[in-house]
Structure 1
């Protein structure tokens, strides 16, 4: 049953939605309107309705007895004496009241009753499919002002049509002579609230329909919470404006792109050499990234300038703002891709940063595979300048270890030693946090190895050439790391079996190497694995999988610094120990 306050909020929103869309008429086409309930159903339904309620529904019905059998007989005589139109209307009202009293699932009677509550009588017209077929041309003729919202039921089987006739009606209307005058909704019980968006996409594709001109709405929105219906109507209202706004923004962005390219062309060769090559080389940056930074600077300022000066865009924003405040129930909103889009802004995935051999940075996320296949993730929280690889291939100052801080699922409220890590997974239901109190200080060499491979795995063939495609500073870093590792592992060369060893000695040394070798260079978190071949291969169970963007990573770094620098006061002895 619809809550009165919710119904009032939904009713208040309708006129503004219709006004913004220039809709002057709403027509509901449903097989429910083809015929009223049968007499026996109406007489049976009135039995469960208290007399005072029945008197409100049928004020001219004169009940002469409290006996239920006599009342039923009298009501049948009264009902059968009504004209067809009044009997149909009364029968539906009686059946709906009985359903509400019995607490049964909502049905078409209850859904469409709410529809009548939402739209005023001068706006809403209800028709059976056959009535629509006869009257469509008249209703949509030249005398109509504004647009008409057509709400078709999908399953029209009770009117002798197919169960999927509703979308066929919509397809016909949107491709016919009245297409410019109508917007359509498929108001149906054949889809759920959760499934309506997928059905909308599928119908648009299958029938080649413009999504700006129709929408799929689950009837269940109408009872018990019509705000869901109002919100779907809002989507239909703003969709054409949104499409126009996207087209306008695309036009502005293309113009801004051209202007930004012109500004890049104006840069002198002296400035180009300084900004694009010399500065990145000193800071260990990839030169095209600096070029993109300049382009973004010019593009952003020009795009904003063009946007503020465009009257069409301003008018569209003003129009959409009029309906943006309309009430909606967040629990009943349709599925959205907003979570994933926001996640793409916050996290760069490993495929991109590893393929370009980008050096490790603040916010890099590493994965360690533990025994039994369990996976743990850690985030690098170190000062960016300390991480930067200079043009010589070294850091200033060189640091042997950097802090990796554990990422874990957050259960309940976070304590003072944890910071939320939102959008870490693709599911909005997952909650993760960074455990600031428990850093692991990992050898910088292990982390650097992740930037040497296109997969992000910490691996190197000691003594081999640096992979192609690295920026010069990282290429020099590769040589430094490779040489240092070579010196370190050579300390244990006595363990390597060689060709001079006899068969038994060689087997013994191989077994010793297999057992002891992996222990020699492993870090606190990561285990090492040696493999002997033309070169010595060294691999750690560490992989760079993503990068948190700079703003969010800085926020975590500040939280981490605050956690490390928290006050350590003397133990309070003024309270009982159990407090």
Structure 2
């Protein structure tokens, strides 16, 4: 860890680190602390409790010469053992009495660990009281070598130092630095117990910068819990050092995006009415595409080019590359933190890239498309399925028709990555070495990553068995804002449907109205027939979701048809196309002749 910290500080051009805390002086503990705590424990719990400091100790037998015994014990102990003794004594004293010393020990332990091999010599890693910081700040800034910076970690609560610190907090000291001529010299952070978990650090930082009108690049917040384990402390320093370049990159990106948006807006407003009519309205109507989809496509084309134009016009590439090089170099320093990960935003961003949510798909009444994911909620085959079909076969034209009446639903089996690795190992062990080239596990399966909130969960799609589904049934999902495959024949179509979809709705409604009439006539005709035959015959009149196997459950209640399935999300491109391509290759595969010589 010391080597990693040394590398991090060197990459960030940090020449020294200061920890400013009202509970510490120079970050060390003394024999006076030790013997004072022993007396407290003796009074509160008796000498017997002191034996728990370490194995082999016997304070009771040495009671007559307690101070001599304690002094010898202290003198013989290595520095790390002295810290262990005092930390344990703090735990044995009444709660809260020695909070300052406990903080002192946490910081002292980290300082000592970092100094052990002299990667960070004592002048380079310094602890100060708030009063000492006030007195030395300008001098520290003046002595920073050219091209170097100083990292300062402030405790948030400083009231024990008295004077102005009765009301002045660590964030106020950060504000003073940011508002001063020393802003470019100091890198600042808050190291505090007011944040109890690593996952709360960014939320606390957001509150502090809002309170003091600071920028996110001005500081990072670290919990003092990181001091309990050196890897966590070094991990916090790494994130603090990454914070400034990363936030500056984000600010640049937002500025570029805002300027590009204004340019895109101007170009869109300048689009001729006749061009708009031909490009957006007529082309969408001809192809059966919702016109806003075409409009968004055009906006996306213009916007992406405008961002690149802004990059060139502002000559930002050298500046951005410099920040990227710095941030990337820092990010490559490995800091193994074994516990549960606190920062998981990247997983939700990745899921957003791969999937369109149910709200975006169903709320916009989008036609069913290749890669749509459905969940069977009732009847047979409950679980997740993905729709695979050629996009041109699924496209609904302006007259409400499409070229295909069926599609393929393939089952998605969710599993964890460790379980999948175990399954693969088992399958490989069973495979003959001579026939290893015939190992077809991945030939017959597709993978859908981040299928669930847990990033360790993936979806396996079996390519060997598909439900041939009736698109006249599955289409009903696009008329429901919740994605349910249902149809109430007494209902009117959603107002948001474009011409092609409105005609498709009328067509399907007419089809189901006819089925409803046939069911009614059958019920009347079979009214006198006993047994299960009437129910079976009526069930046979109802449309089925799957044409080759049972799937879901078709019910008719009054005027409502329901099929026990709903659309829950959609694979975006290129992931939907990639899965379709793999399925198509599987369907078009050829078999090898058997090896009769084996």
Give the TM-score of the pair, scaled to structure 2.
0.73
Given candidates 148, 151, 170, the residue that maps to 1:149 is 151
State the Cα deviation string for residues 37-90 of structure 1 (Å, max 9, x = none): 325949999x999xxxxxxxxxxxxxxxxxxxx9x979959999xxxxxx9xx9
1:130, CA displacement in angstroms?
Answer: 5.3
Structure-2 separation of matches of 1:129 and 1:318:
35
Q: Map residues 285-324 of structure 1 onto 2, 5 A cutoff.
A: 285-312=289-316, 314-324=318-328
- Helix, strand or coil at the partner of 1:526: coil
Following the alignment from structure 2 to structure 1, what is the Cα–Cα distance between the partners of residues 287 and 17?
64
Distance 1:214 1:445 in 2: 58
Partner Cα separation in structure 2 for residue 259 and residue 354 of structure 1: 31
Partner of 1:33: 25
The correspondence for 1:338, drawn from 346, 355, 361, is: 346
Give yes or no for the alignment of 1:277 onto 2:264: no
Of residues 395, 399, 412, the one that matches 1:407 is: 412
Q: Deviations over 1:216-268 (max 9, x none)?
A: 33456567654x54443343334344444333333322332233233334444
Please state whether the residue corresponding to 2:356 is helix, strand or coil: strand
Name which of 1, 10, 14 aligns with 2:9. Answer: 14
Partner of 1:62: none
1:202 is displaced (CA, Å) by 5.5
User: Aligned to 2:463, which of 436, 458, 475?
Assistant: 436
For each residue in 1:535-554, what CA deviation from the matched residue of structure 2 results, as whole angstroms up to 9, or x when unmatched? Answer: x3212111111111021000
Q: After alignment, is 315-324 or 556-565 more displaced?
A: 315-324
Task: Tell whether 2:409 aligns with 1:387.
Answer: no
Superposed CA deviations along residues 517-537 of structure 1, whole A, max 9, x for unmatched, are 4553233312111123xxx32
| CA deviations over 1:254-300 (Å, ceiling 9, x no partner) | 33223323333444444322221222112210111111111211111
- The SS at the match of 2:452 is coil
User: 2 CA distance for matches of 1:213 and 1:254?
Assistant: 22
Aligned: 1:453 with 2:480: yes
Q: Deviations over 1:452-474 (max 9, x none)?
A: 22221112233754332211111
Structure 1 residue corresponding to 2:376, chosen from 368, 376, 379: 368
Which one is further off, 189-198 or 238-247? 189-198
Q: CA deviation at 1:306?
A: 1.4
Matched residue, 1:569: 592
Which of 255, 260, 267 pairs up with 2:259?
Answer: 255
**Structure 2 unmatched runs, 5+:** 39-49, 56-64, 92-101, 425-440
Find the residue that maps to 2:462 and give its secondary structure: strand
Q: Match for 2:236 among 226, 232, 235?
A: 232
Cα distance in 2 for partners of 1:518, 1:338 equals 48
Q: 1:559: how far off?
A: 1.4
**Residue in 2 that maps onto 1:64:** none
Does structure 2 conserve the Cα–Cα contact (< 8 Å) formed by 1:442 and 1:525?
Answer: no
CA distance in structure 1 between the partners assigned to 2:287 and 2:167 by the alignment: 60
- 1:351 to 2:359 alignment: yes
Residue from 205, 212, 220 that aligns with 2:217 = 212
Give the 3 Å change call, closer, same or farther, for CA 138–470 of structure 1 in structure 2.
closer
Task: Confirm whether residue 377 of structure 1 aligns to residue 384 of structure 2.
Answer: yes
Corresponding position of 1:175: 175
How far apart, CA to CA, are the structure 2 residues paired with 1:128 and 1:427? 44
Distance 1:510 1:287 in 2: 53
- Tell me if structure 2 keeps the 8 A contact 1:463–1:486: no
> What SS does the aligned partner of 1:420 have?
strand
Aligned residues: 516
Instruction: Classify 1:218/1:514 alpha carbon distance in 2 versus 1 (closer, same or farther; 3 Å).
Output: same
| Structure 1 partner of 2:493 | 466
Matches within 5 A, 1:97-176: 107-116=106-115, 117=118, 119-129=120-130, 131-132=132-133, 135-136=135-136, 139=139, 148-153=150-155, 169-176=169-176
Match of 1:545 in 2: 568
Structure 2 residue aligned with 1:54: none
Distance 1:91 1:493, change over 3 A: closer
Residue deviations 1:408-437 (CA, integer Å, cap 9, x gap): 112313632222211222221322222222
CA separation of 1:225 and 1:568: change in aligned 2, threshold 3 A: farther
Bigger shift: 468-477 or 427-436?
Answer: 427-436
Equivalent pair of 2:16/2:125 in contact (CA under 8 Å): yes
- In the alignment, the residues of structure 2 paired with residue 166 and residue 218 of structure 1 have an alpha-carbon distance, to the nearest angstrom, of 22
| Structure 2 Cα separation of the partners of residues 130 and 264 of structure 1 | 59
Distance 1:465 1:526, change over 3 A: same
1:422 to 449, 456, 471: 449
- What corresponds to 1:328 in structure 2? 334
Distance 1:377 1:561, change over 3 A: same
Q: Is the 8 A contact 1:148 1:183 kept in 2?
A: yes
Change (3 A) 1:456 1:221: same
Q: Offset of 1:349 from its aligned partner?
A: 1.2
Q: 1:390 to 1:79 in 2, by over 3 A?
A: closer
Cα pair distance change 1:271/1:513, threshold 3 Å: farther
Per the alignment, do residues 201 and 306 of structure 1 end up closer, same or farther by CA in structure 2, a change over 3 Å counting?
A: closer
Aligned to 1:58: none
